[in-house]
Amino acid sequence: MSQTFKLLYLRASVVFLFVTAVSTCLAADQDDVAAALNEATQSITNEKHLLRYRFQPGEKLRYQTEHLATVDTTISGSNQKMQMRSISDRAYVVKEVTSEGNIIFEHVLENVDMWRSVEGRKPVRYNSKTDAEPPVEYEDVAKNVGKTLDQITMDPQGSIVSRNDKQDSPDLGMGGVSIPLPAEAVPIGHTWSKPVDIRVRSDDQRVKVVKVRLQYELKKVSAGVATIGVTTQVLTPITNAKIKSQLIQQLSQGELRFDMDAGRLLSKQLDWDETVIGFSGADSNMKYLARFNEKLLDTATETASKAEPANSK
């Protein structure tokens, strides 16, 4: 074997050993990185988050809600479509926070902008900011604009302790003033629920109670904001189409964003897409398509007074 060949062989062997060593180190490093990533993922997944409402006396939170809906109904070959839009600004003025952490606040309806159109009829509109007199259809709503609708006592988990309705307030859209929060800190993926009874009328006009539950899930947490999914689940077996037609406006699903640091709801979006066939004869059908949005108006969130928190004494 020539000296040149021996030299080339030696160099090739050295390169091979070097590449093998580097590959082994890289594989080990990749294993370490994969293990670290898996550990970090498990840590994030298992981390628990405490969701609580937190307010201070004197705070004034302003929210805007928008409810859009279309109801398309066919009975005996006759079709009618109704569309509506409702926008409202409401304020929650915190009057007191008790030593137990319960929040007492007033719910004020600041203004509304409403529109409804039924096929074959003239649309009806009412804007409380620009219209001096409301149409007949919105007279009850107009009476409540600028007034306190109710005074509510709520615990830090969002449960309503008491409610004093001061006005015969209209239904301006779906969703309550709060959502129920878990009793303990929970990890991402945790689910909890709230039972709800809905009263409907059967064919003989008797009142029937349908049991449903609002199923919540903590979907993710990012920068102190929790994203919570919600779905309505019907627990009572329903075969009667007429009863189903009374339930479709309750069967929503959507997402909510909750500020864990500030302790308040940032936004809510609920969607409906339901169809009922045979609710008024074999050839009848009803389709309900809707969306409800609620958002905190950040620029209008303010502290109305410098009252000292009751639980700080």
Confidence check: pLDDT of 217 > 50: yes
Give residue 13's domain range.
3-46
Quick one: 136 and 218 in the same domain? Answer: yes
pLDDT of residue 250: 87
Do 164 and 125 sit in the same domain of this protein? yes
CATH of the domain at 172: 2.30.230
**For residue range 229-287, what is the model confidence (pLDDT) as tens digits?**
999 999 999 999 999 999 998 888 999 999 999 999 999 999 999 999 999 998 999 99
User: Taken in order 199, 178, 293, 194, is the CA torsion positive or negative?
Assistant: negative
Tell me, yes or no, whether 147 and 207 share the same domain.
yes
Beta bridge partners of 271: 253, 291
Quick one: 42 and 53 in the same domain? no
Beta-bridged to residue 93, according to DSSP, are 60, 106
Question: Percent of the chain scored above 70 by pLDDT?
Answer: 77
Does this model's pTM top 0.75? My answer is yes
Based on the fold, state whether residues 147 and 173 are members of the same structural domain.
yes
Query: Considering Cα of 144, then 145, then 150, then 155, what sign does the dihedral take?
Result: positive
Domain count across the chain? 2
Residues 140 and 236 in one domain: yes
